[in-house]
């Protein structure tokens, strides 16, 4: 029984439209920051546990601007707070799209791999012939000495 998790045909027009949409998105996100691995590792993270502390502290700071140093930029903090509220739902939507593309890629790859294994089993079960000889040559990097290293007459299968 063959596996067919997905049947997908992408026309040239559809691929061009998707590519144009991704290009437009890349252009719109051009001023978003790209951190290095080291920067990601070192940055303080605003997770759920820190969110309440951060919000409460910023609210107190806004109510008491005179208690802060003169060079403390509350406007920048307000802008970051607003931007974070805008970026989070966008990130959630993008993650869902990326997950769908990853799942589609995985399903297509699994369908192909399962079909290839079925073809391999068929060729091996029939014992010899051009298909098995060709598979021995083509698939040897994948299987090494596990299956294709043996001759058709050897006891395997």
Q: What pLDDT shows up at residue 145?
A: 59
pLDDT digits (tens, 9 = 90+) for 116-144: 888 888 888 887 677 777 877 777 676 66
Tokens representing 151? 């001759």
- Give the CA radius of gyration of the chain: 28
Q: What pLDDT shows up at residue 127?
A: 74
Alpha-carbon span 153 to 157, nearest angstrom: 11
Q: What pLDDT shows up at residue 153?
A: 47
CB 44 within 8 A of CB 51: no
- Count the neighbouring beta carbons within 10 Å of the beta carbon of residue 148: 21
In sign, the C-alpha dihedral spanning 124, 127, 132, 136 is: positive
Q: What pLDDT shows up at residue 142?
A: 67
What is the mean pLDDT of the segment spanning 34-47?
97
Residue that the structure tokens 């605003």 belong to: 46
Q: What pLDDT shows up at residue 156?
A: 43
């Amino acid at each position: 029984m063959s596996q067919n998790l997905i049947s997908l045909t992408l026309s040239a027009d559809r691929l061009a439209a998707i590519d144009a949409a991704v290009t437009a998105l890349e252009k719109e996100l051009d001023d978003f920051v790209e951190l290095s691995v080291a920067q990601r590792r070192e940055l303080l993270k605003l997770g759920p546990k820190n969110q309440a502390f951060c919000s409460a502290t910023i609210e107190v700071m806004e109510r008491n601007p005179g208690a802060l140093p003169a060079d403390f930029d509350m406007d920048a903090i307000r802008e970051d707070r607003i931007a974070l509220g805008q970026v989070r739902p966008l990130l959630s939507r993008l993650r869902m799209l990326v997950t769908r593309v990853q799942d589609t890629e995985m399903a297509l790859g699994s369908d192909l791999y399962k079909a290839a294994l079925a073809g391999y089993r068929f060729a091996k079960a029939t014992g010899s012939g051009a298909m098995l000889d060709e598979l021995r040559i083509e698939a040897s990097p994948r299987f090494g000495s596990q299956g294709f290293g043996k001759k058709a007459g050897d006891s395997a299968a």
